[in-house]
Structure 1
């Protein structure tokens, strides 16, 4: 086996291990922040591995392989930009919920009535946070429908490319197809969790295992787990992120039980924990997205320099 074939096999094996590792790391609630962070980490790793592999494939300068990579990295960048935009409203949401929690704690600590001035302020703040969650989901729906319609997550070329096409440019096209398959899957998960999910959205990965690659089998298996969870928990379109849904549900319960001080105290204690998890997790994801943008810029520069030096 020559060095190029060994490098290709290593890349494909790494993809399968990455998806299997993501599957094993998943908690009972798949669409949670930890799963989102692991998915984004795998997306970054896949892109980095591809750009590092190019040098070992001895690709000819001035050929279309570079244009094909540029097209795919542009798609990756633009979908990740949608993810970042979709999360931008989450920071304000977390800030307002934290302020509302502080008001409720003041109400409980001072023993004020829900009908007092502070009580009425608390009631308005709780209602405002509930409405803000609705507004955030609506803004993300519009964002997803306008931007992602122009950036389809599914692959644009044939579903199952021919072996001769996959072998093009010393196997680079097969590698690029594999990265596109994995990134389409991961971007779909990230979009559903962080931006917007709606019935029948995203690409279909059914039947991928028949294509014969281990990473395809791994994608299909994990995709089925995600689909099952959505079917069991998602009652309407929106942001599926588990921590966001928990915070939203606690606020609704707080609004319903606003006159019961014991219930309010219990819900507020829960909210403090979950809103911290939500805020810190989203900050981590935004940081990872920024790192990915830097890595795409560096990857493009590396490949351009590689061509210029040949």
Structure 2
């Protein structure tokens, strides 16, 4: 995922996240401990919240490559044509099921067209704490399966599962626009929808040997247009539930390189979280640059399991 970094337009390569100098042998006990935490918190009761996990006081993530100089986002040509803003909704009329009346916004990471619009996505937008690129191209497997394709596929599967439970599901985009939307617009879409929960779906691009998933939670941020005070707690609850259910549905372990084995990572540098006024998390489903993780991410059967884990976590959060 390159949700806030300025990745090269061709072909996407990503530097590793977290401390890549730690020996794999030292990480194994930590990852195992994280696995046991999730196994213990993921009981059969959908309404039972998982046990609280250690929080992270500092952001953990890979350093961003140097940003390409670009004009200010204040230019009228700096951002893609905005999608129609969704109106607040209380759910589909007549919908039935445990999530009837609930609104979930699904944010497929990146856009397949971003590769053809690098100058546009490099425009800077305000994320509260500073200015970052509108969007990025995302990463890909070594064979060329892109993060944008992956995230859109899983998002569509997730929508089907949530709608079966009566939820109203809105997307930030459905590959219906040439590029974007920018990270600030993605946040506004969830806000304007009055979403009960928002999930941004991604896959990582780290070094070979770095495996597993992690869920990114908003840090406490109050700067400029950003104020996450009201969503930090609910977002952690949402993220913990998704992480626990994701383990059960996919069999994947929490990341062995981000999150200290907990599968959770708190960050303050992501506009999509900083500017959200509703509970929101990101999920990195695996590392596209690791052959073993890539084999999972390119499997339609595994992607269905991933969507199921997310749906179970969201349902647990909303139906509590």
Fold shared, TM-score > 0.5 on shorter chain? no
Pick the structure with greater CA Rg: 1
> TM-score normalised to the size of structure 1?
0.24
Q: Normalising by structure 2, report the TM-score.
A: 0.24
Larger strand share, 1 or 2: 2
Higher helix share: 1
